[in-house]
C-alpha cells in the first residue's frame, strides 16, 4: 500500500490575549507580540535596502512557516538582493524561478513531494511549500501561472509581496501601482499631472472570486501577528492558498526608513488597503474594521512618490478610500465624506497631516 501523505498543522499565534499590548493614543496595540519562534529561516545578512518592506515580510512569513519549509522566489528585488554568488540568507531550501514561472514551479514542487511521499522516496511529512512573488510577477508577468496553480489546487501557499512597482529594474509602474503614484514610467508633468492615471488592479479579489475553492487573504507588514497567522492558515489549508501582502519599498516610495511598519498601518486606517480573509468552506469574506479612520493625506503625505498631487487628485483618492470603507461595511464619517470635494484640499505638499514621531521626507 502506498504511504499516506501526512499534512502538518501549525498552531496559530494568540491574537486575543493582548496582555502585553501598549495602546497608543488611537487605541492601537503597537507593541504586542506573542511568543515567536526563535528560529529565523530568513537570516540576517541579505542586501536589501534599509527599511525594505518585502524583507520584513520574508522574515515574518518564514518565521511563521518554520524550518520544514521549501521556498521559491521569482525574479525581483527579493531574488536579486537576497542571492549573490554561492550565498543566500535562507536556512531552508530555496530556488529562484523565472519571473513568469512562480506558479508553475511551485505546482511542480507540490506535485513532486506528493509523488515522492506516495512512492516511499521521501519520508515526509509533507513540507510547507510556498512562493513569494513580487507584484510585477504575481499581478502581471506571472499571473497566468499562479492562477493556473490556484485553479489546479496544488497544496502550497502563493504569496504576492506587493511593493506597488517593478522595483528591481528601477521602480517602473506595475498593475498595483496606486493612482497618482509616481514611478519612472509614470512621471508627472503638464500632460499627465497626476503621474499614474489608473487605479490599482484588485489582485486579491480577482484571486478569491476566480478561485472560490482557495483560501485567500490580504495583510500588511503593519500587522505582524495577522501576517504570520494568515501564513499559517494558508499553509494549514489543504489545497492552494493566496496571500496578498502590502510591503512598502523605501527606495521607490521615498519615505523615512523607520516608517515601513507605520505605513503598513496607515494604509489600512486611511481605507486604501482593506484587510480581509476569504473562507472557501463558507464562501464568505471576513473584513477587518480598523479602530482608526484617517484622511488619506495622513498616509499620502509621508511619501515622496505622491508629493506632486494637486487638490483634485487628493479628492479622487479620498473618494476611492470612502468607497472601500463602504465595501467592507463601515460607515464613512462626514468629515471624510467632505474631503471628496477638491475645494477642501490644497496641493498635497502644502496639506497639514497627522505626522508620525519622525516626519517623513515625503512632503
Ligand atoms: C520575462 C522577464 N521580463 C523582465 C524581466 C526583468 N526583471 C527582472 S526583476 C524585474 C522586476 C520585478 O518586479 P516585481 O515582481 O514587482 O518584484 P520587485 O523587483 O518589485 O521586488 C523585472 C521586470 C525578467 N527578469 N524576465
Ligand atoms: S528597492 Fe525597494 S523592494 Fe527593493 S530592496 Fe530596496 S526597499 Fe526593498
Ligand atoms: Mg514589485
pLDDT in tens, 156-187: 999 999 999 999 999 999 999 999 999 999 99
On the 0-12 / 13-18 / 19+ scale of CB atoms within 10 A, 186 is buried
Q: Rounded to an integer, what distance in angstroms lies between the CA atom of residue 46 and that of residue 178?
A: 28
**152 grid coordinates:** 489546479
Q: CB burial class (10 A; 0-12, 13-18, 19+) of residue 106?
A: buried
CB atoms within 10 A of CB 199: 14
State the cell numbers at 233.
Answer: 492558515
Q: What would you measure as the largest C-alpha separation in the chain, in angstroms?
A: 74
Q: Whose CA is nearest to atom 3 of ligand 2?
A: 249
Residue 363, pLDDT score: 37
248 lines ligand 2 (CB under 6 A): no
pLDDT score of 219 = 98
What band does 22 get if pLDDT is binned at 50, 70 and 90?
A: low
Instruction: Indicate if the pLDDT at residue 18 is higher than 60.
Output: no
pLDDT interval class at 37 (50, 70, 90): confident
- Identify which ligand lies nearest to the alpha carbon of 139: 1
pLDDT tops 90 at residue 23? no
Q: Which residue has the cell 465595501?
A: 327
Sign of CA dihedral 327, 332, 337, 339: negative
203 grid coordinates: 489582485
Is the per-residue pLDDT at 63 higher than 50?
yes
pLDDT at 317 > cutoff 60: yes
- Report the alpha-carbon distance of residue 195 to residue 303 in Å, rounded: 14
Instruction: Examine the pLDDT at 343 and tell me if it is beyond 50.
Output: yes
CB 60 within 8 A of CB 261: no
- Measured from the Cα of 80, ligand 1's closest atom is 9
pLDDT, tens digit, for every residue of 184-208? 999 999 999 999 999 999 999 999 9
Question: 250 alpha carbon to ligand 2 midpoint, in Å?
Answer: 6
Distance 83 CA to ligand 1 centre (A): 15
Could you tell me if the CB of 127 is within 6 A of ligand 1? no
pLDDT of 19 higher than 60: no
Location of C-alpha cell 550565498 = 87
Instruction: Quickly state the pLDDT bin for 351 (edges 50, 70, 90).
Output: very high
From the CA of 99, give the closest atom in ligand 1: 26
- Which atom of ligand 2 sits closest to the CA of residue 81? 5
For the Cβ of 78 lying below 6 angstroms from any atom of ligand 1, the answer is yes
Task: Identify the residue whose C-alpha is closest to ligand 1 atom 13.
Answer: 166
pLDDT in tens, 243-300: 999 999 999 999 999 999 999 999 999 999 999 999 999 999 999 999 999 999 999 9
Mean pLDDT of 134-147: 98
Amino acid at each position: 500500500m502506498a504511504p499516506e501523505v501526512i499534512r502538518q498543522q501549525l498552531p496559530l499565534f494568540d491574537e486575543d490575549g493582548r496582555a502585553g499590548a501598549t495602546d497608543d493614543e488611537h487605541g492601537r496595540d503597537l507593541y504586542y507580540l506573542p511568543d515567536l519562534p526563535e528560529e529565523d529561516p530568513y537570516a540576517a545578512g541579505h542586501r536589501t535596502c534599509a527599511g525594505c518592506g518585502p524583507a520584513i515580510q520574508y522574515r515574518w512569513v518564514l518565521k511563521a512557516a518554520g524550518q520544514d519549509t521549501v521556498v521559491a522566489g521569482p525574479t525581483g528585488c527579493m531574488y536579486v538582493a537576497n542571492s549573490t554568488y554561492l550565498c543566500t540568507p535562507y536556512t531552508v531550501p530555496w530556488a529562484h524561478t523565472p519571473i513568469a514561472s512562480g506558479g508553475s514551479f511551485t505546482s511542480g514542487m507540490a506535485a513532486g513531494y506528493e509523488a515522492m511521499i506516495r512512492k516511499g522516496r521521501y519520508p515526509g511529512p509533507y513540507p510547507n511549500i510556498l512562493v513569494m512573488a513580487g507584484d510585477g510577477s504575481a499581478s502581471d508577468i506571472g499571473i497566468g501561472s499562479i492562477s493556473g496553480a490556484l485553479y489546479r489546487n496544488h497544496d502550497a501557499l502563493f504569496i504576492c509581496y506587493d511593493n506597488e512597482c517593478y522595483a528591481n529594474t528601477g521602480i517602473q509602474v506595475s498593475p498595483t501601482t496606486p493612482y497618482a503614484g509616481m514611478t519612472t514610467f509614470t512621471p508627472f508633468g503638464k500632460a499627465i499631472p497626476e503621474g499614474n492615471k489608473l487605479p490599482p488592479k484588485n489582485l486579491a479579489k480577482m484571486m478569491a472570486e476566480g478561485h472560490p475553492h482557495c483560501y485567500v487573504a490580504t495583510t500588511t507588514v503593519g500587522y505582524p501577528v495577522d501576517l504570520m497567522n494568515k501564513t499559517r492558515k494558508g499553509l494549514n489549508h489543504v489545497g492552494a492558498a493566496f496571500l496578498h501582502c502590502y510591503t512598502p519599498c523605501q527606495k521607490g516610495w521615498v519615505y523615512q526608513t523607520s516608517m515601513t511598519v507605520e505605513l503598513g498601518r496607515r494604509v489600512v486606517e486611511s481605507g486604501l488597503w482593506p484587510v480581509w480573509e476569504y473562507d472557501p468552506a463558507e464562501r464568505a469574506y471576513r473584513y477587518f474594521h480598523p479602530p482608526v479612520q484617517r484622511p488619506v493625506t495622513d498616509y499620502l503625505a509621508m511619501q515622496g512618490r505622491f508629493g506632486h498631487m494637486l487638490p483634485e487628485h487628493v479628492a479622487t483618492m479620498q473618494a476611492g478610500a470612502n468607497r472601500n470603507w463602504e465595501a467592507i461595511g463601515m460607515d464613512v464619517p462626514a468629515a471624510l465624506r467632505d474631503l471628496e470635494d477638491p475645494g477642501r484640499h490644497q496641493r498635497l505638499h502644502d496639506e497639514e497631516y497627522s505626522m508620525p514621531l519622525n516626519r517623513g521626507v515625503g512632503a
